[in-house]
Every structure is written in C-alpha cells, then in structure tokens.
Amino acid sequence: MKKNIVFFIVILVVFVSLALAACNGGGGTITDVSVQLKWLHTVQFAGHYVAAEEGYYVDEGLNVTIEPIDFDSIAGIEELVATGQNTFGITSADQVIIARSQGIPVKAVAVIFRINPLVMLAVDDVVVNKPADLVGKTVATHEGQADLIYRTMMENAGVDLSQITHVTPSSFNALECLQNADVCSAYSTDGVVEAVMKGHTTYVLWPDEYGVPFYADVIIASDEYIEQHPDMVAAFVSATLKGWQQAVENPSMAVDDTLKFDPNLDRDFQMESMKATIPLVDTGNIAIGLMEPEIWQTMYDILLDKGMLESAVNLEDVYTNEFVEGSK
C-alpha cells in the first residue's frame, strides 16, 4: 500500500513539473524584460498586448513589462535601450539611423508599421488629391519626422514650397489643427479616424506614394543585449509577431486586450483605429516584421541629404532580419 502511495506521489510531482515547464515554453525559468513604448497605451501597440494577455510571452519564457511613454523623461527611447534601462523599445525607423550616426548602439530587430501612418489631412471643402493641390494653402506640420516627410514628399512631387504658407500646428489633435490651417499632418490611425467618425469628408495624401517610404514603428534592442542574449531577442520577437498576427486576424480581441492596459480608452474609436492599422502592419506581400534593404537605404539617403546625420552609418549596424526570419 505504501509503495502505491509513493508511486502515486512521484507520478504527481512529475506531471506538475511537466505542466509548469510547458507553461513557460519548456524552460525552467522566466526572464524579466521590458519594452518602452513610444506613446501611451493604444492599439498602436496591440501586438504586444495580445502577446501578453494571450500568454505568448510566457510561452517563450518571458515576463514582459510594457511601459508607456514617460513625458517627464529627458532620455530618448534609443538611450533607454542602449543603457539597459529598457530591454526593448518601440521607436521610429529614422530615429534608429539618427541614433547610430550619434554613436548610440541600438539596432532594429523587426518592423511593425511597414507603411507609415503619418499623412497630410484636409477635410470637407478643402479638396486635396495631390501635392500640387497644396499650393496657395496654409499647411501645418509638427517638427521632426512629420515635417521631414512632408517636405520630402513635396520636393519629390516638384512643388515649390515657397508657394505654400507653413505654420506651426495649433494642437496635436488633427481636427483642432484644421481650425487654423487648411491641411495638417495627422495619423491615419488617429486624426483621420476621428474625422471620419465625426462625419467629415476626408482628403489624405500618403507620402509613401510619393517616394517617401519611411517605416514607422520598429522594435529595437541594444548591440550588447543582442550579442549576449540572442535567445531572449528571438523569443521576444517571435511572441510579439505572433501577437500582431493574431491582432490582424482578430481585431476585436486585440482591442479587448488593449483595454486591459487602459480601461479608459474609447472602445469604438480603438476598434476603428485597429481597422486602420491592419493594412499598415500586414501589407500582404511580405511577412509581418520583415524589413526590406531598399526601404532602409531610401530612408538613409533622405536623412543624409537633409543633413540630419552626424556621421556616416553602415546600414548593417542599423537593422537585422535574423530574428524575424527565425521566428515561429
């Protein structure tokens, strides 16, 4: 009888151990990592929330802390990742190139927004169908990437910028900005969505269609972390891309998981924003996350031409597809 009891206990212990191992991806430990977002919680980062809430990170042996932007922090995302304050970061692709030119050792390991949501928006009576339609109008663009993309688009289209009145946006809200300008820089996933939901007729210019194919959100890690912990980078990328794939296939679930990180978000707006996000992440012609050399080269050439780089950069140091190609 005692032998039977002992045998039963041994079997039970083995079963529980195997179950626990299965829950953390087959390994015996869970590794704590963090990812610094470039903005507040929103479906812009839906893939991360899905990966967290549906257990994809845990399956890869990761306990991931997802941190929204801290507006009081003086350090940029690239610096936070390079110095190890965050394991991973979400930043704009052009910022990775600029950071490398400044000697900041970070590298993109996957792209999320293959098509940039930054657009030029007009509504209602201001009809804009091409860059030349901006001549004689008042245009507002935010400093940084928005202004760079706008000016490059106009130059590529052969439009004389001196024929356009440029002003500083009165607000980060696109519709408020349009109260003082004919055309404003906006995000197709935010300002355009709001305008449509409020019944406005919208006119949108996509810089991507005029030779400015800037990637938007990319995942970055430091050179040191990539070298020392390639397995952790591979695990994070794999789980995140799985999260994004599920978000694309099931936007309602993606919104639900996003709301768990900020219950105060408007669900209807987040749903429409998620719908607008899907074609920018999953373009249908290439795997989610995979980066194209010619896009990086175009971004680099533009930044170099505009004098935005402190030194020449080897693009092999800027990004790698190693982890996307190796993801499950």
pLDDT, one tens digit per residue, over 201-224 is 999 999 999 999 999 999 999 999
**Domain locations in the chain?**
29-115+215-325, 118-210
- pLDDT band per the 50, 70, 90 thresholds, residue 123: very high
Pairwise CA distance, residues 85 & 67, whole Å: 11
- Identify the pLDDT of residue 28: 61
Of 81, 101, 72, 1, which Cα lies nearest the Cα of 36?
81
- Identify the pLDDT of residue 19: 41
Pairwise CA distance, residues 73 & 69, whole Å: 8
- Identify the pLDDT of residue 328: 63
CATH 3.40.190.10 matches 29-115+215-325: yes
Pairwise CA distance, residues 44 & 265, whole Å: 13
Asked which of 9-13, 78-82, 203-207 is least confident by mean pLDDT, the reply is: 9-13
- pTM for the model: 0.90
At 23 the three-state DSSP class reads helix
Residues 243/47, Cβ–Cβ less than 8 Å: yes
Query: In this model, does residue 254 exceed pLDDT 70?
Result: yes
Of 33, 32, 36, which Cα lies nearest the Cα of 67?
36
Alpha helices in the chain (DSSP H): 2-23, 46-53, 56-59, 77-82, 93-101, 145-156, 174-177, 191-197, 223-228, 230-249, 251-259, 267-281, 293-305, 322-325
Of 302, 328, 251, 321, which Cα lies nearest the Cα of 116?
302
Percent of the chain with pLDDT over 90: 88
- Identify the pLDDT of residue 74: 78
- pLDDT band per the 50, 70, 90 thresholds, residue 1: very low
Q: Please classify residue 103 by burial: count the beta carbons closer than 10 Å to its beta carbon, then call 0-12 exposed, 13-18 middle and 19+ buried.
A: exposed
Read off the pLDDT of residues 38-53 as tens digits, 9 standing for 90 and up. 999 999 999 999 999 9
- pLDDT band per the 50, 70, 90 thresholds, residue 72: confident
- Identify the pLDDT of residue 113: 98
Q: What is the largest CA-CA distance in the chain?
A: 95
Q: Which amino acid is at 78?
A: E
Average pLDDT over residues 98-114: 98
How many degrees, rounded to 5, is the angle at CA 77 between CA 324 and CA 322? 15
Same topology, domains 29-115+215-325 and 118-210? Answer is: yes
Looking at residue 138, what DSSP letter applies?
E
Residues 12/20, Cβ–Cβ less than 8 Å: no
Read off the pLDDT of residues 164-200 as tens digits, 9 standing for 90 and up. 999 999 899 999 999 999 999 999 999 999 999 999 9
Residues 80/257, Cβ–Cβ less than 8 Å: no
Query: In this model, does residue 26 exceed pLDDT 70?
Result: no
- Identify the pLDDT of residue 103: 97
Contacts of 5 (CB under 8 A, 6+ apart): none
Contacts of 105 (CB under 8 A, 6+ apart): 82, 222, 223, 224
Residues 118-210, CATH architecture = 3-Layer(aba) Sandwich (3.40)
- Identify the pLDDT of residue 7: 38
Pairwise CA distance, residues 204 & 130, whole Å: 9
Average pLDDT over residues 223-246: 98
